[in-house]
Structure 1
């Protein structure tokens, strides 16, 4: 088969989704499946739907458009603040979006009126990770203004932690969000239907707490796709870790000295590599590089190790493995490696497993939906 390629096991994704949906449902929390790391793969989206997600989220409108064509009745959320230049597309492709900026809300309102539609808004709150979010002291006032904008409907509050600064979404953070929800509800005069506590980094808290408060939604990507939690990159017991494997071909195999020789300066990517070891290394070059994947996120088979990477070459120590030129080597990946491999036009994605052909059963969710069908 063609290499490099990503082998995607759709049944593993469905298994992980169903396990997480079932565990979180016992705590009153639903799951929004985030497929952005797979470029909005329709089959991955359907695997998540089959696993029981309440809706799907992505940060790119192009991906949401692909998913919409495949699952027209599934609620879709834009999980990045909308660009003002794309508001017409946002209200057309997404049922809901995460927002922080008054000027963008104004533009979304105008776009919704032009499109004769209604668009749901989740207002994002800054709780310390310093990525997106309205300051907590400004949330109530800003939330009240959303309800005055025609074409928009405030459906909830959300937050995002751990992505930029690694701030842990613990009980104190979730309690703060729950408290803000109650204050906003008192101001706007109705209950918020969506309280999105965060992403896969929230699972340590969500699966161990005895008090979820008002949190009723998590936006899960990495845990569904890779079976791991992002805080410590630990596997989650009960989940499968084999949904994705990266397969690439050996184009050179030689025994070479462990240490380079000659005067040394920067490498092609501006660093000054350090090398270790003495003697010789049984070294393979794989037809894969930084243009295709994050080499730091690759896990080769036991007994092999990644030595270095340039734009088109991955150098590995194959140890005693029986491998030759033309053979394939299979890697596991972390989230960063998966994201870049999916984005590379040179890596083929091969999906296998159960592929649903009838999407008419993918029901709509009244929390987000603006379309009747």
Structure 2
């Protein structure tokens, strides 16, 4: 089939809308609100608009550039910087984020100074280290940390949060969530501090949510993968009733020839410094696609037809065409995992095409 421009990523906005709505109901039934995470879709305004229209009023992204893009597109939401700001970007944080996640006093002091000078009040969520060992203040240090932050003008502590299943793969288990609730309760009591956001984690919290009766103090999660791909990240399993195919990566065949299955000649490294190994399958019909690692993370693509990805270089994917009758110019569609989605949405070489 010959169609529009390739490579492209086809984005089904209706399926994203459906997933967002289902998850809002699912988490809402247990008193948990959702921050829609836009980082994997690069703060795409069309997708952000869908989330807001479905009732997700808080959008979170790890890139200030994405927050700026959504603001300038007129998206009506509260914007959260999903990671600790760097000192060099504090001015932009005050300009583009309503809320930022923080773990370092030096950065909060600078946020305070700039917000105060502009007569603004910047909201912050303090992140706790709960074992995944990415960002976070150690629980034993939290009370002292908050005492210092509360003395600063121009900033307001509106929540506590924790990250799971990101760097260390630590699951947001019932034990971890109870621990987080207990820490929050202690902080609220000690400082008479009402906290708006107790953000217990991300899409990885799905299994906890389904099993737990009492969600404790947790009233917020940050969802990206489960909205866009209909999966939970701990085991990458599909969530019942959600679409897992809201995104499709499409490219086209630029060469189709019968060739040997094993490279011949003196061997050295490949384009990425590896020493590739090949299985001898005799002569085979091989296909070449005009995309590679510079366009998308090839290892995260799964062909929708009965063909096999043999490997890739920076701008080619090599296929075993098997029994398919794919010819030059024919389109090949792939489903994407989270990493491939991130790379394709970030790539300037991949057209973003919307379907309803």
Q: TM-score, normalised by structure 2?
A: 0.97
**Offset at residue 241 of structure 1 (A):** 1.2
SS in 2 for 1:134: coil
8 Å Cα contact 2:52-2:76 kept in structure 1? no
Q: Report the Cα distance in structure 1 between the residues aligned to 2:61 and 2:300, rounded to whole angstroms.
A: 22
Partner of 2:231: 228
Partner of 1:287: 290
CA RMSD after TM alignment: 1.2
Q: 2:109 aligns with which of 66, 85, 106?
A: 106
Q: Report the Cα distance in structure 1 between the residues aligned to 2:199 and 2:314, rounded to whole angstroms.
A: 39
1:145 aligns with 2:148: yes
SS in 2 for 1:205: helix
Q: 1:124 aligns with which of 100, 123, 127?
A: 127
8 Å Cα contact 1:30-1:54 kept in structure 2? no
Q: Unpaired runs of 5+ in structure 1?
A: 354-373
1:70 aligns with 2:57: no
Partner of 2:258: 255
Q: After superposition, where does 1:130-279 map in structure 2 within 5 Å?
A: 130-279=133-282
**Offset at residue 72 of structure 1 (A):** 4.9
Q: Which deviates the most, 139-148 or 311-320?
A: 139-148
Q: TM-score, normalised by structure 1?
A: 0.92
Q: Report the Cα distance in structure 1 between the residues aligned to 2:284 and 2:83, rounded to whole angstroms.
A: 46
Q: Report the Cα distance in structure 2 between the residues aligned to 1:213 and 1:71, rounded to whole angstroms.
A: 36
SS in 1 for 2:153: coil
SS in 2 for 1:146: helix
Q: Report the Cα distance in structure 2 between the residues aligned to 1:201 and 1:72, rounded to whole angstroms.
A: 27
Partner of 2:347: 344
SS in 2 for 1:158: strand
Q: 2:53 aligns with which of 50, 54, 66?
A: 50
Length, aligned pairs only: 353
SS in 2 for 1:218: strand
SS in 1 for 2:6: coil
Query: Deviating runs (4+, > 4 A) in structure 1?
Result: none
Q: Unpaired runs of 5+ in structure 2?
A: none
8 Å Cα contact 2:48-2:75 kept in structure 1? no
